[in-house]
Structure formats: C-alpha cells, structure tokens
Chains A and B, each alone.
Chain A
C-alpha cells in the first residue's frame, strides 16, 4: 500500500470537506480558462480579420456610433452616394477598392434579416463621370481604383479579377465584380434557416430575388445578411441615393495614415476611421477581460487556498489519534507531512482539472454568444491554472502539514 493509496482512501472516506475545497479551486481555474479562452479567441479573430481585410478605411456619417467592424453599417445614419464619386475622382494614392453599403432591416418569411446593398465593381465603369477621367479608367483596367504607390508590398497582387468574379469570395474580399439587380448573396445562417440554395428564388419586400450564391459561414454578423445590388436596396428603402458606409480598401498599411487625412480633407462632413482604430476598442476590451480574469482568478484562488488550509487544519485535528498511531507504527514527521501535502495536492490538482473542464465547456457553450466567434480553449490558461492551483494547495497546506509533523505522538494513547 503506497502513501497515495492511503491518502486516496481517506479522501474517499470523507469526501465532503475535500470536495468543498476542490470546488473553490475549480471555480478560480474555470473562470480563468473560460474568460481567457474567450479573450484569446476574440483576439485571434480580430487578428485574422485584420489580416484578411488589409488596410481598410471606413467612411461613415459623423454621428455614427460603432460597435464593431461588421456592424459598422447598422447605425441608421446615411451619407450621399456621391461621396463614392468624390473619392474616385480624387485618385487618392493606394485606393484599391471601394465598397459602399446601405442596410435595411426586414424579414423574409417572418425571419428577420439585414438586407445590405452593395455596389458591384462593374458599376464603377458605368458612371460616365468616372469614365471621363482617362487616367482613372486605365488604372481601373489594371485592377485598382486610385493611384498605385511605389514599392507597394500590400495586397494589390492578391486580389485578382478571378477572385472578384467568384461571388462566394465576397465574405473575404468585400468586393463583387458583377451583381444583377435582383440577384442576392445569402449569408450562411439565413440560407440554412430559409433553406435557400443557389438559383432558388425568394420574395423580399414584394420583389422576387434569385440566390446568386450562398456565402460560406464566417462566424460574423454577415452570416445573417442578404446582400443585393445597392441601387435595388436604395429603391426598396425609398431613401434615395444614399449609403450607410463606404469601405475603402487601401493597398497596404503604409498608405493608411496618408489616405485617412486625404479623405478627411476631401469629405469634411464624414467621419473617416481605419479598421485598426475600430479594432482597438475590441482589443482593449479583450485586454480588460483578460486582466479581469486574472484578478478574478487571484481572488478565487485565495479563497480556494484558504478553504484548503481550513479543511487541512480541521483534518489534522480530527485525525490526531490516527496520525499519532502512524507515528507509533514508525511514521516519521516527514511521512506525516507528505501525507497532508499529498492530500492537498490531490485537492489542488483535482480542482485544477475540474476547473479546466468546466471552464472549457463554459467557454464553448457561452463564449460564442458573448464574442460571436468560434471558440478555441486557451492552452496557456489551462497550464497556468493547473500549476497555480497545485502551488496554492501546497502553500496553503504547509502549516497544517507542519502541525501534523509536530503532533505529540502520545495522543495515540489517549481518548481524543
């Protein structure tokens, strides 16, 4: 019979106090794993989106209140569509693409959706005012709307015409080449709920639309959108030639700063912000969540540690005669110390593992509803949680272990 077997049998004999201490530790670790997993996944998602979206700039109404990038057009305020023309005519250095959007909250078969008007790239060519600029036209043929800047290492070369013709790539490129007036791109969630497939038709605000493509799931608000031609949506909304946002895609980060000030000068009535500014709020929130989780973890681990200390002190007092008997049978003070510390270690590690599982499950179940991204469990949080729960158990049971080691062994002769 090994010492760990002796400890395990004792825990099984009286599980309630050990369970209480274990739960306190588990709470701390689960809070850390859950919040850190959510914060990490959110940060990873932001980083992924940033790398996919490149050097994007948003042109918004001055009063627009932003929550996140994907909901940037859901503020209800509008800008004149003419601003798109103004940007094109300015031939700003590094402007690669533009995507004006107008949103309309409506329903299809009683399912609420966001109808989003987008302007296909081919529409830029139809604007006579734009075509009058010969230089601009040549640039567009080459694949960019503005002037290219020297030594560009950005995404100009990545966006080929082929990728823009593939409608399904819209969720990544934010640009479509062609879109017929009553064609629609359907977000993954909407398609699933309404059982819409490519080429199927549906009624929207009295008109019949054809599904041109079902977009792959992105884990963003785009999954609940229906994208249609901007001018069709403008007609349906009866708001005239307006948009909620103009996304300007710069060729690389190098041009962003200059482009923002150029656009601010060009459109003084609008608010021009970069994606990085926008995500800063999200990153700040992640950082805050992360710090709060460490604070919560620290508090709960202290509570857990105090609980372990209390359980172990009570345990040593209750087991005085048993420990004295072990001494009479030849146990050294070190053996008794190990007996107490091993029990605490089992509680600490058990609490850590329980917290890891509970935190992981909680993150996977609750996480997506908080941050709207698919969750992955934070491995560093699990590692730290397990290490610290073990250390806390050891530190807080040191005094009870010392008490056990210094027991007067003659208690085994007495009625205690």
Chain B
C-alpha cells in the first residue's frame, strides 16, 4: 500500500543544512492504523507532507498504491491526492467563507464533479456526522468539535485509500476527541482505509495497530504496550 524507501529531507536554514528526515524506510499495509508520536520539531509534519505528495523528499522514493508518487507530473499527483489521499488537520483548515456543506463539497468541486452529485454526497456525510442542521453555517458559527466533524466529512467525501491526520484531536474536548478517534478506527475497520496519525496524545496512539516514534528526523518502531502503560499512567 505505502512504502518509503530511504527517504530523507534536508532544509536550508540560514545557509545551514537541517536534516528534517533522515534516511527513513517504512512499509504500511492496506487497512492499518499507524500512529506517529514524537516531540515538536522532530520531523512528523515533514513526514506527513512527504507521504501526502505535497513535499518532495531530497532523496529516496515514496510509493503509494504502486505509484512512485514523486515521479508523477504535479497535476497528475494533485489528482492522485484528490482521489486517494485524505487529510485531517489540527486546525481543521476549513475555508472560512464557505458553509459547512460547501466545505465538505470542496474536494469534489476541485475536480469538477456534477453539482448535484457534490451536494448529495456532502449531505450524506453531514447526516452521518449529525450536522445536517448546520449545513448552512459558516465555520465561525460552529464549535471546535463541529468544525472537526465537518473537516472529517470533507476528508471522507472522496473515500480516500489513505488518511493522513495531523494532530486531529489537538484542539478538541474529550467527547469530540473520542468521536474523531472512533471515526478513524471505523475507517480502518469498515472501509479498509489506511490511517496514519500524528499525535502527542498517547491514549489516542494506543488505539493504533503500530506506533512509531519520530525523534530528530529518525523514525523508529515503538511497542504499543509501552504506550498503553504511559497512557494509563
């Protein structure tokens, strides 16, 4: 499903090279739930950007569904991203002047789906997330939990094979946090979607099939049982 082969990423900061990601290899099978934990600045977001086809690595190869992601033309990669990859962000990243319904429609409208198809699919998802009565509300009129549910609906509208979530529960209360987690777990269990989640929250990470730790640009496997202990403690 997803394979990283010797991927590294270097930035230049004040003319000094900074290794954000060091020779990282990873193989993820379809339908797995992977959690990545690690301190701020350790390279988690860089890894997520590379996995999402948005940031070309300095070296190495990223293969997704058999395609070498960075050998695709940028337009083809964008379409691939639109159809196969879904993102969930910590700050929801909803477009502030669009309604909840329009925000959910957005991935379909970017590639010009029929308007009625966009609308009916978006309404289905809003119903699933119990937001039908908020369809015409702008993000500023919604609570944080409702905004994240809209963002999840937007992610799921294209039924992506891979879901990349960057601290999706970071700004949420426990109830909303639980809902997000349940949704992601459901994606894996019911739809066979692969989920890669970056989090600081060990209780969330403990729900994953595999937990990996990122430290100074190096990704390493962590035992989930250790995390369970940490989370319980």
Partner of A326, one of B55, B75, B91, B110: B110
Stretch at the interface among A120-128, A293-301, A408-416: A408-416
B79 at the interface (CB under 8 A from A): yes
A6 CB–B CB distance under 8 Å: yes
Residues of B98-136 whose CB lies within 8 A of A: 98, 102, 105-107, 109-111, 115, 118
Candidate in A332, A333, A409, A410 with the most chain B CB atoms within 10 angstroms? A332
B107 proximity list for chain A (CB < 8 A): 329-330
* A342–chain B nearest beta-carbon distance, Å: 14
> CB of A328 within 8 A of chain B?
yes
- Contact partner of A410 (CB less than 8 A), chosen from B49, B96, B115, B118, is B49
**Per-residue contact bits, chain A 287-328, to B (CB 8 Å; 1 contact, 0 not):** 000000000000000000000000000000000011011111
CB-CB contacts below 8 Å: B130-148 with A: none
Hey, which chain A residues are within 8 Å of B166, CB to CB?
413
| A329:B106 contact, CB within 8 angstroms | yes
Q: Which of A6, A13, A328, A413 contacts B96 (CB 8 A)?
A: A13
Known contacts A325-B93, A330-B78; A413 and B110 CB within 8 A of each other: no
Binds A, one of B80-88, B174-182, B201-209: B80-88
- Verify if A69 is at the interface (C-beta below 8 Å from B): no
Whether the pair B110, A331 counts as a contact (CB closer than 8 A) is yes
Query: Taking CB as reference atom, which chain A residue is nearest B94?
Result: A325
Q: Are A325 and B105 in contact (CB under 8 A)?
A: no
Task: Assess whether A335 is interfacial by the CB under 8 Å rule.
Answer: yes
A12 touches B87 (CB 8 A): no
Q: In the bound complex, how far is the Cα of B82 from the Cα of A413, in angstroms?
A: 17
Is B52 in the interface zone, CB < 8 Å from A? yes
Which residues of chain B are near A328, meaning CB under 8 Å? Answer: 52, 54, 81, 87, 93
**Bound CA span A14–B96, Å:** 11
A6 to B99, CA, bound (A): 11
Q: With an 8 A cutoff between CB atoms, is A193 at the interface?
A: no
**Residues of chain B with a CB closer than 8 A to A9's CB:** 97-98, 102
Chain B residues near A322: list those with CB within 8 A. Answer: 93, 95-96
Instruction: List, in ascending order, chain B residues with CB within 8 A of A205's CB.
Output: none
Q: Which of B49, B78, B81, B95 touches A413 (beta carbons < 8 Å)? A: B49
Q: CB distance B97 to A414 under 8 Å? A: no
Assuming the A-B contacts A6-B109, A329-B106, are A414 and B93 also in contact, with contact meaning beta carbons closer than 8 angstroms in the complex? no
Q: Are A329 and B154 in contact (CB under 8 A)?
A: yes
Interface flags for B46-71 (1: CB within 8 Å of A; 0: not) read: 10110010110000000000000000
Chain A residue numbers with a CB within 8 Å of B93 are 321-322, 324-325, 328, 412
Q: Indicate if B30 sits at the interface (CB-CB under 8 A).
A: no
Interface membership of chain B positions 36-54, coded 1 if the CB is closer than 8 angstroms to chain A and 0 otherwise: 0000000001101100101
Given A408-B55, A413-B45, A413-B48, check contact A330 B110 (CB 8 Å): yes
Instruction: Kindly identify which residue among B87, B96, B109, B111 contacts A412, using a CB–CB cutoff of 8 Å.
Output: B87
**Shortest Cβ distance from residue B58 to the other chain A in the assembled complex, whole angstroms:** 14
**Secondary structure class of chain A's binding surface, majority of residues:** helix
Residues of B within 8 A of A415 (CB): 91
Is A334 located at the chain interface by the 8 A CB criterion? yes
In the complex, residue of chain B having the shortest beta-carbon distance to the beta carbon of A416: B91
Q: B223 on the interface (CB 8 Å rule)?
A: no
Instruction: Give the complex CA separation of A336 and B196 in angstroms.
Output: 27
Q: Is the C-beta of B191 less than 8 angstroms from some C-beta in chain A?
A: no
On whether A325 and B111 interact (CB within 8 A), knowing A13-B96, A330-B83, the answer reads: no
B74 interface residue, CB < 8 Å from A?
yes
**Among candidates A2, A327, A332, A414, residue contacting B54 with C-beta atoms closer than 8 Å:** A327
Cross-chain contact B118 with A1 (CB below 8 angstroms)? yes
On whether the beta carbons of B89 and A412 are closer than 8 Å, the reply is yes
Cα A14 to Cα B97 with chains together (Å): 9
Distance A10 CA – B106 CA, assembled complex (angstroms): 14
Residue of B nearest to A11 (CB): B97
CB distance from B147 to the nearest CB of A (A): 13
- What chain B residues lie within 8 Å of A413 (beta carbons)? 45, 48-49, 89-90, 166
Task: Write the chain A residue with the least CB distance to B81.
Answer: A330
List A contacts of B75 (CB < 8 A).
332-334
Q: Give the nearest-CB partner of A327 in chain B.
A: B54
A333 to chain B, nearest CB (A): 6
Contact of A330 among B82, B96, B118 (CB under 8 A): B82
Chain B residue with Cβ nearest A333: B74
Known interface pairs A327-B54, A410-B55; A1-B109 also in contact (CB < 8 Å): yes
**Residues of chain A with a CB closer than 8 A to B154's CB:** 329
Distance from B25 Cβ to chain A, minimum over Cβ atoms (Å): 21
* 13 A-B residue pairings within 8 Å (CB atoms): A3-B109, A6-B109, A9-B97, A9-B102, A10-B97, A12-B97, A14-B97, A321-B93, A329-B81, A329-B82, A332-B74, A409-B49, A413-B89
Q: Which 7 A-B pairs have the closest CB atoms?
A: A330-B82, A13-B97, A410-B49, A409-B54, A332-B78, A325-B93, A1-B109
